[in-house]
Amino acid sequence: MKNFGKIKNTFNTILAEAITDKDETKKSLFKSYIKILKENKILKTQFDIYTKIEKMVEENQFKAEKKINRIIESIREFEHKAIIEANKKLAELISDKEIENYKSEELHENISNLIFSVDVDTYVDSLYETIEYTKKNTIKEDVKGNGVPNELLAKLAVDKFNDAYTELDESTKKAVKVIVEGNDETKESLFNNTIKECISLINDKLKDSEINIKESLLAAKENLLDRIYNNNTFENDIAKILNLKNDLNK
């Protein structure tokens, strides 16, 4: 396979699904990918090329051309045959995965042409398209570790979240963006505010509940009051609290 970008995108999707599904098999697969990248200079060089161009913002055409060519130069020390062979071995890890159309597919194909093409017209056309991309790419895309776009994580997380909690109000569904993209401060704020909302709902239910229900509500309230924000367990903790909020709203 010549287009390393397709492999890279597939592994990004695997990581995003591993996070949202809490799938240990997919997490392990992604770790294998990272390990191979670190150990194989050809693959690591390609990863850097694709990532740098994806993130490049340059309105000046002359500068964009110089920067892109300079980035591509880093792969010239390797023969095309060696690059294709390295890509093939990496692609074997995902041989059972169907590579679907994706947002950066055209850009990745142009980068691949810049690496492999010996035809002048093809090279120039791909260089032009890549330059146009960097000129229009006015907003740098935030990414998670290992170059995974927040946009991808957020989309998958929202899909999973909506499937699991279809009865939640829209404001709570939007909270998933904080779960995926937020920093410690915004996550802690979401955590504490959601607890306050749950406690308020419990207090309302306590007014008219029977004694056996009150005992359960008071136990839940005590549990909430004892909870402290922990970044390491945030995903599991907030999922449980939001699930409780959903139950309390019924």
pTM of structure: 0.59
If we measure between CA atoms, which residue out of 42, 62, 59, 7 comes closest to residue 115?
42
The predicted structure's pLDDT at residue 65: 96
Say what the pLDDT of residue 180 is.
61
Residue stretches of the chain with pLDDT short of 70: 19-20, 138-177, 179-181
C-alpha 65/C-alpha 235 separation (Å) is: 43
List, in order, residues 6 or more apart from 140 with CB less than 8 Å away.
55, 57
- Taking only the tens place, the pLDDT of each residue in 106-158 is 999 999 999 999 999 999 999 999 999 999 986 544 444 455 555 555 455 54
CA angle 46, 181, 98 (to 5 degrees): 45
One-letter amino acid for residue 42 of the chain: I
Q: What tokens does 31 get?
A: 């770790």
List the alpha helices (DSSP H) in the chain.
Answer: 4-21, 24-39, 41-55, 61-73, 80-91, 105-116, 120-136, 150-164, 170-181, 184-206, 211-226, 234-248
Phi, psi (degrees; rounded to nearest 5) at 196:
-60, -40
pLDDT on residue 144? 47
Residues in the chain, total? 250
Supply the pLDDT for residue 60.
Answer: 95
**What is the pLDDT, as a whole number, of residue 145?**
47
* Cβ atoms of residues 30 and 15 within 8 Å: yes
Which residues 6+ apart lie within 8 Å of 53 measured at CB? 68, 71, 107, 111, 130, 133, 134
- Of 12, 28, 4, nearest in space to 145 by CA: 12
